[in-house]
Structure 1
């Protein structure tokens, strides 16, 4: 099934936000997106509403859509909720002695082999692999509702990863790889305590990031 006009408008806008072309606080009007994508106002308007529902933009009457920043509060909240969901999934996997899910191992292998993080696109692509790693663990728990809940966090997950990368740079890759490997080892050992402990260390904001974000753009 091909992509709809709404899908194309949504993907263009989301890409422009994620790559920094549309930065936090910036306004974008429907006509701008129409001209850039060759689409009519109706699908563009629907894409705006979809992005607003996911927390990427705020809709402002007569101004269009304003790109939202990530606040320090949201950063802490997304890590808290992710920990609640992911730790439950890891506990389930260890309790069932399920071992390491293949999808988690594949995602980590790709992260280990990833080229150096230099451009914003590199960080975005690397961040998608990180999301795939963690989502695979949740999916392996076998709880479909938990996966649905986890997927609603994706916009905040993506932006929090980028915020961390802006501060940590290439060192983020080495820290992430080491902690991911420790999580897989804990799953292989069926060690609930170790799995949850390492996850807690992993889902902790780099200290400078909350200060950099401040109050964010609500």
Structure 2
């Protein structure tokens, strides 16, 4: 029973700290300590240490003995790698959808529903705003009729959320751009124009995630 309780405490700390990293509540570059998190989560240091080791293994933090844990900032290389992967996966999905004209209306309806919810979301609620942003793009990936690629795209979801939240925090105008760009992406799919979609997606991702010089 004690072992199970220790595991559940470590799992809870892991989930709470990770969510704070993803939502920028703990910012990249910030140094946090086991004692600080133990106090915040009302647990001993042991489950915190276990959670930190897991977060380090996943690349979210670096541990420094007797100093604490440094939250790994979102680097330009990470942004470019995530954006490149998303362009490939979403572009492939849209080409698959547009090769099956009967699939286009269904995806368009799903995206319009998402866009309507997104328009009514409070941009200051960056957690919900970023969730709807991720959902829009995941709907596109899932429509590509390739479950392996769709599942791989979902694994990008956490980095996608963190990057979007950081971008909205950096510049409030990004929220408006996301909505405007999503409407254009939807229009390109409805027009069965995969080339236009890929062109718009490249500009959308480079602009939202502040990647100067990114190719279109």
The TM-score by the shorter chain falls in which range? 0.7 to 0.9
Answering whether residue 135 of structure 2 is matched by residue 128 of structure 1, we say no
Aligned partners of 2:27, 2:193: CA distance in 1, in Å? 42
Preserved CA contact (<8 Å) 2:22 2:158: no
Task: Give the distance between the partners of 2:148 and 2:57, measured in 1 at CA.
Answer: 19
Q: How many aligned positions are there?
A: 203
After TM superposition, give the deviation of residue 62 of structure 1 in Å.
Answer: 3.6
Shift of 1:168: 2.9
> More deviation in 10-19 or 106-115?
10-19
Q: 1:90–1:74: structure 2 CA closer, same or farther, 3 Å change rule?
A: same
- Distance in 1 (CA, whole Å) between partners of 2:188 and 2:94 is 9
* Aligned residues: CA RMSD: 2.6
Give the TM-score normalised by structure 1.
Answer: 0.79
Determine which structure has greater relative contact order: mean sequence separation of CA pairs < 8 Å that are 6+ residues apart, divided by chain length: 1
Q: Which residue of 2 aligns with 1:155?
A: 158
1:216 is aligned to none
1:203 and 1:21, CA in 2 relative to 1: closer, same or farther beyond 3 A? closer
Deviations 1:99-119 (A, max 9, x none): 14254333211111123x34x
Is 1:35 aligned with 2:39? Answer: yes
Structure 1 unaligned spans of 5+: 212-218
TM-score normalised by structure 2 residue count:
0.80
Which residue pairs with 1:113 in the alignment? 120
Counterparts in 2 of 1:141 and 1:20: CA distance versus 1, 3 Å: closer
Instruction: Pick the structure with greater CA Rg.
Output: 2
- Confirm or deny: 8 A CA contact 1:94 1:187 kept in the other structure: yes
**For residues 69-123 of structure 1, what are the alpha-carbon distances to aligned partners after superposition, in whole Å with 9 as ceiling and x for unaligned?**
11122222221121111111111111122114254333211111123x34xxx22
